[in-house]
Amino acid sequence: MVSHESVELVLDRVRPYLMADGGSVELVAIAGNDAQLRLTGMCAGCPSSHLTLYLGIEAALRAGIVDFGRVEVI
């Protein structure tokens, strides 16, 4: 099962890139092997947020956590 700590460790590696553009990502909850995330700041309304979430953040989570499932956007 995916833990809150393991997801936060991966997100901590991704956050500096988001912060460089005025945004961030928040872990809302873990549901089994899936993570519920919320983009904040400038990332919340960005037209590229879908790409950021799935090609950036979800890819990093899959690479960093063996059993990771998927990202759900809150």
- Spell out the domains of the chain, with CATH numbers in brackets: 4-73 (3.30.300.130)
Compute the residue count for the chain. 74
pLDDT at 35 over 90: yes
**Rounded distance, CA 35 to CA 68, Å?**
8
- Are 1 and 67 in contact, with CB atoms under 8 Å apart? yes
Using CA atoms, how far apart are residues 18 and 30, in angstroms rounded to an integer?
21
Global confidence as pTM: 0.92
pLDDT tens for residues 18-29?
A: 999 999 999 999
